[in-house]
Amino acid sequence: MKFFPREHYFLQTKLSPGEILKRVQVKTDTLQNIISFSKSKTGLPFRGMVLNSGFKITRAVSSRGSLAPVIKGSIINTGYGAEIEIRMRMIITNYIFFSMWFGITGIVSVYGIVMQIKSAVFEPGILLPLGMFGFVYLYLFFGVMNETETAKKFLTSLLEAEEIKK
């Protein structure tokens, strides 16, 4: 089971690897860093880099959306088109921040529950750290999943591809 949301899937297209890279390149602002908290000045939907065998991009959202995943694509030539292996994950700073958040609220929650059991007196305030843990986890999970679905739909459309099971 994965605690942090991420995606790994394959797309199949009739486009050549060169055409795939060209289409991604046209829609990618390569002048800005992947981790950039400023709005894209070009209006392109992605920022990042396109390499010979794939790409590493993130959606250039107009709001300061730190939940936009980093998208790594590897292109595999199949002779009748190409397969693109797509991996989507959060940026590393999100892993660090949310790990600290969940660690602290988790420890406080466990400590509070243990103290409640020992004292045999229920204090409703002890549920606050547990609620903070749950709320932020739901925010993270649904926020990242929303961003990955948006990017997935756009990439599928851009590359005239369909998802395949492996």
56: enclosing H helix or E strand: strand 54-59
**Domain-embedded: residue 41:** yes
Same structural domain, 82 and 104 = no
Count of domains for the chain: 2
Please give the residue range of the domain that contains residue 124: 94-133
Q: Is residue 70 part of a domain?
A: yes
**Residue 13's pLDDT band (boundaries 50, 70, 90)?**
very high
| Any domain includes 2 | no
- Residue 22 sits in the same domain as residue 73: yes
CATH of the domain at 72: 3.30.310.80
Task: Specify if 39 maps to a domain.
Answer: yes
CB 74 within 8 A of CB 85: yes
Q: Does residue 52 share a domain with residue 14? A: yes
Confidence of residue 40 (pLDDT cuts 50, 70, 90): low
77 and 13 part of one domain: yes
Q: Which helix (H) or strand (E) holds 97?
A: helix 92-119
What is the 3-class SS of 105-137, one letter each residue? HHHHHHHHHHHHHHHCCCCHHHHHHHHHHHHHH
Q: What is the pLDDT of residue 54?
A: 92
Query: Higher pLDDT residue, 75 or 63?
Result: 75
In a domain, residue 25? The reply is yes
Closest CA to 130 of 119, 114, 151: 114
Work out the average pLDDT over 94-116. Answer: 91
Query: What is the arithmetic mean of pLDDT over 13-41?
Result: 78
Q: Is 116 found in the same domain as 82?
A: no
> 32-36, 90-94, 110-114: which has the minimum mean pLDDT?
32-36
Establish if 36 belongs to a structural domain: yes
The predicted pLDDT at position 123 comes to: 84
> Does the residue 139 lie in any domain?
no
Q: Are residues 113 and 84 in the same domain?
A: no
Residues in the chain: 166
